[in-house]
């Protein structure tokens, strides 16, 4: 089983000047430690307006920094919001490809729809349409990364003419594709579409085994890829705070993990939020904490390793560690990661290579069958795209305003059509 780390970038109130800068600097240090101790993936979320719960609003910037501070860790979008009002598919293709180039081919492309009201309504995304928007944008962005040129698309939620989207990624046809899965329906959809499942949920071994088996059974029987490649993998989340003394680990770790779950529920389930005013940390401290699964990773090394082994035996491909929750002090996170590297992770690394080989061998015929179902990308007729002044000179604009003064008015027309800029 492989390991990742999760950068939600939580920042409970009260805030002081410089807190966000310190948080980002601390997170980059955690990434450096993770890379050194053998954690293979760093996942950064894209969220907007979810104060205190997640200040990870521009993961492409953060992950570029992670890529420069690490040498082995793969840099994962966990996730990119794919409905076009959040991120136009061409911009996603450009950013993913550029990050893949900057990181030397280490990108994991996680995707999702979003489901919080604060985010959806602010960007004009209809809750009913968001799944269709996601599928449309993922399919087309994947094509953009491996087509030269992209043939263009006329769709319900976005349209784009034929263009050659550059740069192209290191990993061909595109980096490994994932989707956030919060329920079994989305998990099975991921398997049907040949996409890795990012199940950002805390589970015990029995529940994890059920999800893993359902995913791979669906993949074997029903996979018709949405992208241009398949990525059969299941990743799950585990809260972690490791200390050799069990009581110290609990005192340091439980409350932060509870805040993660409570703040998530505030934004997605029960909350009434006043932007810029609601104090989540204060409300959390007044609330009665709910029982919480997935705390096997908060404890001494032997307990943490035993919990991880249970999930490994359940078939989980990657365990993503939530190493920061709530108000964890930076030094506690660093101490926990160092101890994990010394006393927990080495045994899993020893088993991973053989396990990965067996899995690839077992899935090979199903992957071949799925890849045979990838639709071919149509070869577009080559189209000439004339510059605006050339178009106007050639009679492409019929506005009476132009008339015989077409050449003289080119600059003013250019400004009118593209938004008031005079240089390019």
Quick one: average pLDDT of 299-316? 98
**Torsional class of 244: left (φ above 0), alpha (ψ -120 to 50), beta (otherwise):** alpha
- Are the CB atoms for 114 and 81 separated by under 8 Å? yes
On the 0-12 / 13-18 / 19+ scale of CB atoms within 10 A, 19 is middle
Give the pLDDT score at 404. 45
pLDDT above 50: residue 294: yes
Give the pLDDT score at 38. 98
The percent of residues above 90 in pLDDT, for the chain, comes to: 87
pLDDT above 60: residue 128: yes
| SS3 label, residue 5 | strand
- Are the CB atoms for 197 and 235 separated by under 8 Å? yes
**Residue-wise pLDDT tens digits, 197-226:** 999 888 999 999 999 999 999 999 999 999
Q: Where are the alpha helices (DSSP H) in 291-344?
A: 301-313, 330-343
318 φ, ψ (degrees, to nearest 5): -145, 135
Give the pLDDT score at 112. 98
Give the pLDDT score at 289. 73
Going by pLDDT thresholds of 50, 70 and 90, the confidence category of residue 364 is very high
Closest CA to 7 of 29, 22, 27: 27
Which range has the worst mean pLDDT, 271-275, 342-346, 353-357, 389-393? 389-393
For the chain, how are helix, strand and coil distributed in percent, rounded to 5? 45, 15, 40
Going by pLDDT thresholds of 50, 70 and 90, the confidence category of residue 408 is very low
Give the pLDDT score at 72. 98
Give the pLDDT score at 396. 53
Whole-prediction pTM value?
0.93
| SS3 label, residue 190 | helix
**Residue-wise pLDDT tens digits, 255-269:** 999 999 999 999 999
Give the pLDDT score at 412. 62
Average pLDDT, the chain: 93
**Residue-wise pLDDT tens digits, 176-200:** 999 999 999 999 999 999 999 999 8
CATH 3.20.20.30 segments of the chain: 2-371
Q: Which CATH superfamily is domain 2-371 in?
A: Luciferase-like domain (3.20.20.30)
pLDDT above 50: residue 19: yes
Better-scored residue on pLDDT, 291 or 78: 78
- Distance CA(140)–CA(118), nearest Å, equals 27
CB atoms within 10 A of CB 238: 25
Going by pLDDT thresholds of 50, 70 and 90, the confidence category of residue 418 is low
- Are the CB atoms for 44 and 78 separated by under 8 Å? yes
Quick one: average pLDDT of 293-322? 96
Going by pLDDT thresholds of 50, 70 and 90, the confidence category of residue 387 is confident
6 φ, ψ (degrees, to nearest 5): -115, 125
């Amino acid at each position: 089983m492989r390991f990742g780390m999760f950068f939600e970038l939580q920042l409970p109130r009260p805030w002081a000047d410089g807190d966000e800068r310190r948080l980002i600097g601390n997170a980059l240090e955690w990434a450096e430690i993770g890379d050194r101790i053998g954690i293979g993936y760093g996942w950064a979320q894209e969220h907007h307006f979810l104060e205190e719960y997640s200040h990870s609003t521009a993961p492409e910037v953060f992950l570029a920094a992670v890529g420069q501070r690490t040498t082995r860790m793969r840099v994962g979008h966990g996730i990119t919001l794919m409905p076009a009002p959040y991120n136009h598919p061409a911009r996603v293709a450009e950013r993913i490809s550029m990050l893949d180039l900057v990181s030397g081919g280490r990108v994991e492309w996680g995707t999702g729809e979003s489901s919080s009201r604060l985010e959806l309504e602010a960007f004009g995304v209809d809750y009913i349409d968001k799944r269709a928007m996601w599928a449309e944008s993922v399919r087309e962005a994947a094509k953009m990364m491996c087509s030269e040129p992209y043939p263009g698309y006329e769709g319900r939620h976005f349209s784009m003419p034929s263009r050659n989207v550059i740069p192209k990624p290191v990993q061909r046809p595109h980096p490994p594709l994932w989707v956030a899965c919060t329920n079994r329906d989305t998990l099975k959809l991921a398997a049907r579409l040949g996409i890795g499942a990012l199940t950002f949920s805390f589970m015990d071994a029995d529940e994890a085994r059920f999800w893993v088996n359902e995913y791979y059974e669906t993949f074997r029987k029903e996979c018709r890829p949405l992208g241009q490649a398949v990525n059969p993998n299941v990743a799950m989340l585990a809260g972690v705070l490791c200390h050799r003394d069990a009581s110290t680990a609990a005192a340091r770790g439980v409350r932060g993990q509870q805040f993660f779950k409570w703040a998530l529920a505030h934004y997605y389930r029960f909350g009434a939020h006043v932007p810029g005013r609601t104090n989540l940390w204060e409300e959390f401290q007044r609330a009665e904490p709910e029982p919480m699964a997935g705390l096997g990773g908060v404890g001494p090394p032997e307990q943490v390793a035993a919990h991880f082994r249970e999930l490994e035996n359940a078939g989980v491909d990657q365990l993503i560690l939530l190493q920061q929750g709530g108000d964890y002090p930076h030094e506690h996170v660093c101490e926990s990661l160092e101890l994990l590297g010394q006393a927990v992770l080495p045994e899993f690394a020893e088993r991973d290579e053989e396990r990965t080989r067996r899995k690839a061998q077992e899935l090979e015929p199903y992957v071949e069958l799925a890849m045979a179902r990838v639709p071919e990308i149509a070869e577009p007729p080559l189209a000439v795209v004339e510059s605006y002044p050339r178009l106007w000179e050639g009679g492409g604009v019929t506005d009476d305003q132009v008339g015989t003064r077409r050449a003289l008015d080119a600059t003013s027309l250019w400004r009118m059509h593209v938004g008031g800029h005079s240089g390019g």
